[in-house]
Structure 1
Amino acid sequence: MKKRILLTSFDTWLSDQVSNSSDDLLQKVSQVDSIPHDVKFLRLLPVDVMLASSWVIQKISELQPDYIICCGMAASRQRLSVEMGANQGEIFLATGVNLEKLVSGTVATDISSDCGKFVCEGLYYAVLDYLHQYQLTTRCIFVHVPVLNQENLVSILADFLLIIHNLALA
């Protein structure tokens, strides 16, 4: 049975930014015909925790996905980073996904405990909290995407597609 997977990305947040690597990656994923899952996209989220969270929660309610992969840009990183969870003050919410198993077989992906203290962490926390409060079986991860270039695009895209595949098998 096909798994329904919601993928999200952010818009740019600086006036001189040409693009956001999280959205660049989802653009590439949208061009792949061989994904054997029901993949839905919510791209170019506003870089605002409240707005982005409400858009994603509304889409979760509408689609009722099996899995959610929220993506954000991490310009200082060189590899994909799958985040263990998100903080809000002293409260930490962890993903319910086995990340070691999830990244098995990847070549350009790390597991991270630093979601960034910006809109990425705010969105991740809001989604995890929503799933927990409403006792939904949907699982969510957050993936930080480095700036994409000719050297890393192939391995980053391959890893991301493998993560989608591994998540659907979880």
Structure 2
Amino acid sequence: MTQTILLTSFDIWMSHHQTNSSDELLEKVSQVSGIPHHLHFLRKLPVDFQEAPKEAIAKINELQPDLVVCCGMAESRQKLTVEKQARCGKEAIVTPLNLPPLIHDLKLTEISEDAGQFVCEALYYAVLTHLHPHPKKRDALFVHVPILTPTNFPPILDDFLHLLHRLTQSNPQ
């Protein structure tokens, strides 16, 4: 069954960065042919606590996607990390997705319980909170992307594409 998927990335946020690895990854995903789903991209979200969630939720409301995958850069990480939860103050909201089967046997992907306490986590929290009460079950996931190099980019892209495929199969919950 063809699904509508919204993929988001961030713009550059530090002066020493020339690109944002989350956006580099989505640029490459947009060039992959044969993905049997309707991919929609909301790229280069502003690194802003209010604007990023506002733009993402507006796009979610417009598209009504089956799945939302938000991506952000994690400069200090070495692998793709799928975020189990997002926090806002003392509150936390957990993705309803069953993450261990999603990442099973992926070479450069692991589960994280710390979405970073920055704009990435604010976006994830806002998206999960927005989707939670909807009668149409829609899932969301946040994926942190490490700095991409010529060596790690191919296996990270491969893991991400496998992750997308698994997310769109019968829900592994």
Q: Which 4+ stretches in 1 moved above 2 angstroms?
A: 133-136
Instruction: Pick closer, same or farther for the CA change 1:135–1:128 going to 2, 3 Å.
Output: farther
Counterpart in the other structure of 2:69: 69
Query: What is the aligned partner in structure 1 of residue 146 from structure 2?
Result: 146
Structure 1 residue 92 corresponds to structure 2 residue 92: yes
Structure 1, 99-108 or 51-60: larger mean CA deviation: 99-108
Q: How many residues are aligned here?
A: 170
1:95-123: CA deviations, max 9, x gaps?
Answer: 01110111123110000001000000000
Unmatched 5+ residue regions in structure 2? Answer: none
For normalisation by structure 2, the TM-score amounts to 0.95
Secondary structure of 1:53's match? Answer: helix
- Unaligned 5+ segments in structure 1 are none
CA displacement at 1:134 relative to structure 2: 3.6
TM-score (norm 1): 0.97
How much does 1:68 deviate?
A: 0.5
Calculate the aligned-residue CA RMSD, in Å.
Answer: 0.9
Q: Residue 49 of structure 1 aligns to a residue in which SS?
A: coil
1:26 equivalent to 2:39? Answer no
Aligned to 1:7: 7
Structure 1 window deviating more from structure 2 (63-72 vs 134-143): it is 134-143
Matched, 1:110 2:110: yes
Q: Distance in 1 between matches of 2:133 and 2:55?
A: 17
> Partners of 2:51 and 2:167 in 1: how far apart?
27
Alpha-carbon distance in structure 1 between the residues aligned to 2:90 and 2:165 = 33
